């Protein structure tokens, strides 16, 4: 509905992704300089000027599929490589952070209120002159407290809220709920593979957006390395095994669009893609980016 939502969504999910990658890099004892380079490459790609300009243009939200493509591209903007299946899992995990056993998010009925909201439970009545004539309290059922102060909107400042902070700090164990994750993924897959009649339009936007991403070629003899998104290799393999059938697509040759400039950009981007452990079966020519997304 809103044509200004995409930057919020992209930057928030991108930020979450960075927190997770940071935690995983530490957990796997990746050498400091390599870890810093990975994060630096991703952050500089995310905040690349051309990319930001494209992102902030008023436009409709992308579908989940399209957005996942962008993140996948982003995650591979460095020397690091992620197992495809585990990246799917983690995207589910990102959404399913605080859940109870039936899958609903926990919505506490206590805690601080948003700035500008008063503690529920009070009824004030006024006369014609605006003077308060009566005050009644009622039981509202929660246990709330007013916000201590308004969060700062300056570039640096006390935000007051914990929203946007790192939930994956080193001291906390990162849980990977495998069974729940796979169940959710299966149900979400149904949505994801439903044909989107506006796919073509969306993909044109996506092409422009990805054209705005600067790619850093891995320099010199520095080898890429693999990052586990789960604590053990066994879990990584399990993730690959429990990946729903529907998500294992064939690799299809891609025909770039007519536009000259886009051709070059896309060809360059295509060259950067490195898919691990995927069975390569060539099929007839695909349409455009749709095919490329399908293979993720």
Binding site for another protein (CB under 8 A): 1-4, 58, 60, 100, 104-107, 109, 113-114, 116-128, 130, 133, 136, 138-142, 144, 197-198, 201
Distance in Å, CB of 51 to another protein, minimum: 20
Distance in Å, CB of 137 to another protein, minimum: 9
* Spatial separation of the C-alpha atoms in residues 172 and 22, rounded to whole Å: 13
Q: Which is nearer to another protein, 133 or 163 (CB)?
A: 133
CA proximity to 90, closest of 18, 176, 9: 176
The tokens describing 137, both together, are: 């309290």
* Spatial separation of the C-alpha atoms in residues 29 and 225, rounded to whole Å: 12
Q: Which long-range contacts (CB under 8 A, 24 or more apart) does 138-145 make?
A: 141/109, 142/109, 142/110, 143/109, 143/110, 143/111, 144/109, 144/110, 144/111, 144/112, 144/113, 144/119, 144/120, 145/111, 145/112, 145/113, 145/119
Q: Which is nearer to another protein, 84 or 91 (CB)?
A: 91
Distance in Å, CB of 25 to another protein, minimum: 33
Distance in Å, CB of 54 to another protein, minimum: 15
Q: Which is nearer to another protein, 194 or 241 (CB)?
A: 194
* Spatial separation of the C-alpha atoms in residues 11 and 156, rounded to whole Å: 17
Distance in Å, CB of 82 to another protein, minimum: 28
Which residues are CB-contacts of 295 (< 8 A; sequence separation ≥ 6)? 249, 250, 251, 252, 275, 278
Q: Which is nearer to another protein, 19 or 144 (CB)?
A: 144
Distance in Å, CB of 196 to another protein, minimum: 9
Q: Which is nearer to another protein, 144 or 249 (CB)?
A: 144
Q: Which is nearer to another protein, 139 or 280 (CB)?
A: 139
């Amino acid at each position: 509905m809103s044509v200004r939502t995409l930057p919020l969504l992209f930057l928030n999910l991108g930020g979450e992704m960075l927190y997770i990658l940071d935690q995983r890099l530490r957990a796997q004892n990746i050498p400091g300089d390599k870890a810093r380079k990975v994060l630096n490459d991703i952050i500089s790609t995310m905040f690349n000027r051309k990319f930001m300009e494209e992102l902030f243009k008023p436009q409709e939200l992308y579908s989940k599929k399209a957005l996942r493509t962008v993140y996948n591209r982003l995650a591979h903007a460095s020397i690091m490589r992620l197992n495809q299946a585990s990246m799917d899992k983690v995207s589910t995990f990102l959404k399913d952070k605080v859940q109870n056993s039936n899958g609903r998010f926990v919505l506490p009925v206590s805690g601080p209120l948003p700035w500008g909201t008063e503690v529920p439970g009070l009824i004030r009545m006024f006369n014609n002159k605006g003077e308060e004539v009566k005050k009644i309290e009622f039981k509202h059922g929660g246990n709330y407290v007013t916000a201590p102060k308004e969060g700062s909107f300056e570039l640096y400042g006390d935000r007051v809220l914990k929203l946007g902070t790192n939930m994956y700090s080193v001291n906390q164990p990162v849980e990977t709920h495998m069974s729940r994750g796979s169940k959710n993924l299966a149900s979400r897959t149904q949505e994801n593979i439903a044909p989107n009649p506006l796919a073509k339009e969306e993909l044109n936007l996506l092409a422009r957006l990805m054209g705005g991403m600067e790619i850093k070629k891995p320099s010199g003899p520095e080898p890429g390395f693999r990052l586990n998104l789960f604590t053990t290799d066994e879990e990584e393999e399990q993730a690959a095994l429990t990946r729903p059938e529907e998500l294992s697509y064939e690799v299809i040759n891609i025909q770039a669009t007519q536009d000259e400039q886009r051709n070059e950009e896309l060809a360059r981007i295509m060259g950067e893609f490195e898919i691990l452990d995927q069975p390569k079966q060539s099929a007839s020519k695909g349409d455009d980016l749709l095919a490329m997304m399908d293979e993720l």
